[in-house]
Amino acid sequence: MRIYGITGWKNSGKTGLVERLVAEIRGRGFSVSTVKHAHHSFDVDHEGTDSYRHRAAGAREVMLASSRRWALMHESDPPEDPALADLLARLSPVDLVLIEGYKRDTHPKIEAHRGETGKPLIAREDETIRAVASDSAPEGLSCPVFDLDDTSAIADFILAETGLQPGVDEGAARPLPEISPPPLRDDCFALPAGVEWIPVDKALAALREALGPVTGEETLAVEEAEGRILAQDVQALRANPPHANSAVDGYGFAHGALKGEGPHVLPLAEGRAAAGAPYRGVVAPGQAIRILTGALLPEGVDTVVLEEDTTLEAGHVAFRGGVRAGANTRAAGEDVKAGETALRAGHRLRAPDLALLAGIGLPEVRVRRRLRVGILSTGDELAEPGSTPDPARTYDANRPMLMEMARGWGHEAVDLGHAADRREAVAAALDEAAQRADAIITSGGASAGDEDHLSRLLRETGSMRQWRVAIKPGRPLALGVWKGAPIFGLPGNPVAAFVCAAIFARPALSLLAGGGWTEPRGFTVPAAFAKKKKPGRREYLRARLDADGAAEVFRSEGSGRISGLSWATGLVEIEDGARDIRPGDPVRFIPYCELGI
pLDDT tens across 389-435, in order?
A: 888 888 889 999 999 999 999 999 999 998 887 888 888 888 999 89
> With 80 as the cut, is the pLDDT of residue 561 above it?
yes
pLDDT at residue 171, rounded to an integer: 39
> With 90 as the cut, is the pLDDT of residue 568 above it?
yes
- Mean local confidence (pLDDT), 500-513: 94
> With 70 as the cut, is the pLDDT of residue 269 above it?
yes
pLDDT at residue 189, rounded to an integer: 57
R_g of the chain, CA atoms, integer Å: 31
pLDDT at residue 378, rounded to an integer: 85
Tens digit of each residue's pLDDT (9 = 90 or more) over 107-147: 899 999 988 878 888 888 888 899 999 988 787 788 889 99
Instruction: Name the residue type at position 183.
Output: P
Q: Higher pLDDT residue, 457 or 18?
A: 18
- Mean local confidence (pLDDT), 249-263: 94
> With 80 as the cut, is the pLDDT of residue 85 above it?
no
Percentage of the chain lying above the pLDDT 90 cut = 49
Q: Tell me, letter by letter, the H, E, C secondary structure of 40-90.
A: CCCCCCCCCCHHHHHHHCCCCEEEEECCCCEEEEECCCCCCCCCHHHHHHH
- Mean local confidence (pLDDT), 300-314: 96
Q: Which helix (H) or strand (E) holds 414?
A: strand 412-419
Tens digit of each residue's pLDDT (9 = 90 or more) over 363-389: 899 999 999 999 999 888 887 888 888
> With 90 as the cut, is the pLDDT of residue 264 above it?
yes
Q: Which helix (H) or strand (E) holds 589?
A: strand 586-591
Percentage of the chain lying above the pLDDT 70 cut = 90
pLDDT at residue 40, rounded to an integer: 58
> With 60 as the cut, is the pLDDT of residue 257 above it?
yes
Q: Higher pLDDT residue, 302 or 176?
A: 302
CA distances from 101 to 141, 425, 496 (A): 21, 46, 50
- All structural domains of the chain, each given as residue ranges with its CATH number in brackets, are 2-37+81-172 (3.40.50.300), 217-241+333-368 (3.90.105.10), 245-330 (2.170.190.11), 372-512 (3.40.980.10), 523-595 (2.40.340.10)
Tell me the whole-structure pTM to 2 decimals: 0.66
Q: Higher pLDDT residue, 337 or 461?
A: 337
Q: 216 with 179: CB under 8 angstroms?
A: yes
CA distance 533 to 395: 32
CA distance 70 to 200: 32
